[in-house]
Amino acid sequence: MLRIAFEDGKIQVVPKIRLLKEPPARKGFLAREQFERLSAALPEDLRPLITFLYFCGVRLGEAQQIEWSQVDLAAGLIRLETEQTKTSEARVVPLPDVLIQMLAAMEPKSGAVFSTRNLRKAWVKACAATGLGTLGDGWRYAGLIIHDLRRSAVKNLIAAGVPEKVCMAITGHKTRTVFDRYHIVDTTDVQRAMRRVEENASGENLAHFGVKIGKILPAPRTRKRLTA
């Protein structure tokens, strides 16, 4: 825009603008065992919401707006409407069985689906109790934040082999650049990658010598010699 203004004679010079260095992406991630402990430490009415955020990667602001009319338990789906999403695009979110069971047991099925009663306070206390955060004087908290559940969902979906395009459709990431900041790669990921390389190389070496992995090659057939 500044360049256009300069060319149109609206400004005399184009000012030099130095962009600030983008801060590194957060590394907050919750393993399944950690999630189970955290969920158990939370009030029962908050567990459906936390489960939804952990498995599906939906934004908290989006989840707070969901009403029962948008839930299809038989199909295991929740539909987010255009006006409810950050990207202004409607999307359908698949639900894990554990959440479907929770929602099926909830009554009454009217109004908002997920409770957020005392969410921040309950979150801080549960994280501190399970070693996922620390709580200092004056309720000064440091540790896992609710938005880290969204990062955990992305990592878990990728680890499960879900294509990135499908992951983005579930979590509502519109651009690959932002999605990559949520796709956390840790030590386990790189170790697993090297194991796959070694397994692949091992298979190629065996194939070079005519050995097919997982199959036993039949013994060559010999012809019987005819005698007069």
Per residue, what are the HEC states of 166-226? HHHHHHCCCCHHHHHHHCCCCHHHHHHHHHHHHHHHHHHHHHHCCCCCCCCCCCCCCCCCC
Choose between 217 and 118: higher pLDDT: 118
Over residues 59-84, mean pLDDT = 95
Q: Is the pLDDT at 49 greater than 80, yes or no?
A: yes
Distances (CA, A) of 93 to 49, 67, 73, 78, 220: 14, 14, 12, 5, 55
Confidence tier at 184 by pLDDT (50, 70, 90): low
pLDDT greater than 70 at residue 116: yes
- Distances in Å between the Cα of 110 and the Cα atoms of 62, 70, 100, 173, 183 are 17, 11, 16, 29, 35
Which residue would you say has higher pLDDT here, 127 or 139?
127
pLDDT of 62 above 70: yes
Confidence of residue 76 (pLDDT cuts 50, 70, 90): very high
Confidence of residue 187 (pLDDT cuts 50, 70, 90): low
Q: Between residues 67 and 5, which one has the greater pLDDT?
A: 67
Q: Say what the pTM is.
A: 0.69
Q: How would residue 198 be classed by pLDDT, with cut points 50, 70 and 90? A: low
C-alpha–C-alpha distance, residues 65 and 157, integer Å: 24
Q: How many CB atoms lie within 10 A of CB 184?
A: 18
- Report whether pLDDT(8) > 60: yes
Q: How confident is residue 194, by pLDDT bands cut at 50, 70 and 90?
A: low
Write down the pLDDT at residue 196: 63
Ramachandran assignment for 172, one of left (phi > 0), alpha (psi -120 to 50 degrees), beta (any other): left
Q: Are 34 and 132 in contact (CB under 8 A)?
A: yes
